[in-house]
């Protein structure tokens, strides 16, 4: 066979093979298209954007820094004693001490101090040096490990509660474990707590104040209300905001609303004012009610 004939035959075979491949490809459809297909024939949607964790759902007081703000104690340890000076700053996102704060409940900043066994509770209001941004206050401190909470709203920012540990020198006296109680005696006063905490629900709590067995009907406003209630979760000392119910009656009952994030033990501290003196009643309760 001559060379021209062999070349012509080869070209004809190539054309035939190409035509056959084209027909098969159209019947099967595209392979490796733009959208992946599952074994069930479903078209997969593009992967969603990665989820970034936030601190919005973390209870207050568990973090020393949040949203760019930091609670910085001047000294992480101190000596035991009455009226011991404690100083600190709130630094902002730029790293500088913050000097501008909103007034909340009649104060720019509320400081809560409590030993980690939930004794020694104090609710005080430090003084701010507006030139340096340093807050200062005196605390009554016994030996042991303490937690301090700064509850504040920096100008132009959201409300925050930051917490820091404070070590007090000396051997701590062992405290008696706090049993569940819904009645507290403070001098001549008896304060009862009614209502059940339930995880994930906004619970109504009512406190009733009596003195020498008689209802107190002339409570005095304290921090803009007839009582101020702080709740700390057992174990990690998470700080929970408890909102007053807006009662306009000066006793004997004051209502609050509290939402706890989990089941467990909670320690509640009620500050109330009568005859010009602020007193604190302490309760230990469990979420889910009591017998």
Domain ranges of the chain: 65-168, 183-286
Would 65-168 and 183-286 be classified into the same CATH topology?
A: yes
Query: Per residue in 231-282, pLDDT tens?
Result: 999 999 999 878 788 667 999 999 999 989 899 999 999 999 999 999 999 9
Query: Mind listing the pLDDT tens digit for each residue in 125-182?
Result: 999 999 999 999 999 999 999 999 999 999 999 999 999 999 999 999 887 888 999 9
Return the CATH number of the domain spanning residue range 65-168: 2.60.40.1220
Q: State how far the Cα of 34 lies from the Cα of 32, in Å rounded to an integer.
A: 7
Instruction: Please give the CATH architecture assigned to the domain spanning 183-286.
Output: Sandwich (2.60)
Gap between the Cα atoms of 77 and 79, Å rounded = 7
Output the six-digit token pair for 112: 């809560």
| pTM for this model (two decimals) | 0.79
């Amino acid at each position: 066979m001559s060379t021209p004939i062999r070349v012509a035959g080869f070209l004809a075979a190539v054309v035939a093979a190409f035509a056959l491949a084209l027909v098969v490809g159209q019947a099967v459809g595209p392979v490796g298209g733009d959208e992946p297909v599952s074994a069930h024939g479903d078209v997969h949607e593009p992967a969603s954007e990665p989820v970034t964790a936030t601190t919005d759902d973390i209870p207050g007081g568990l973090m020393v820094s949040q949203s760019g703000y930091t609670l910085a104690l001047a000294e992480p340890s101190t000596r035991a004693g009455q009226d011991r000076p404690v100083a600190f700053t709130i630094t902002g996102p730029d790293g500088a001490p913050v000097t501008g704060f909103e007034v909340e409940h009649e104060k720019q900043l509320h400081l809560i101090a409590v030993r980690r066994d939930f004794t020694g509770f104090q609710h005080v209001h430090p003084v701010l040096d507006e030139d340096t941004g340093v807050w200062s206050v005196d605390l009554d401190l016994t030996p042991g490990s303490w937690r301090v909470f700064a509850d504040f709203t920096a100008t132009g920012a959201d409300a925050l509660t930051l917490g820091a540990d404070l070590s007090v020198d000396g051997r701590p006296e062992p405290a008696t474990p706090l049993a569940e109680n819904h009645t507290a005696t403070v001098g001549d006063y008896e304060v009862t707590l009614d209502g059940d905490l339930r995880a994930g629900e906004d619970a109504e709590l009512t406190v009733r104040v009596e003195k020498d067995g008689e209802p107190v009907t002339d409570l005095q406003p304290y921090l803009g209300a007839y009582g101020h209630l702080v709740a700390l979760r057992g174990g990690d000392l998470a700080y929970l905001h408890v909102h007053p119910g807006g009662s306009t009656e000066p006793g004997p009952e004051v209502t609050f609303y509290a939402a706890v994030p989990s089941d467990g033990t909670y320690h509640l501290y009620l500050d109330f004012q009568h005859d010009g003196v602020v007193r604190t009643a302490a309760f230990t309760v469990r979420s889910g009610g009591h017998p």
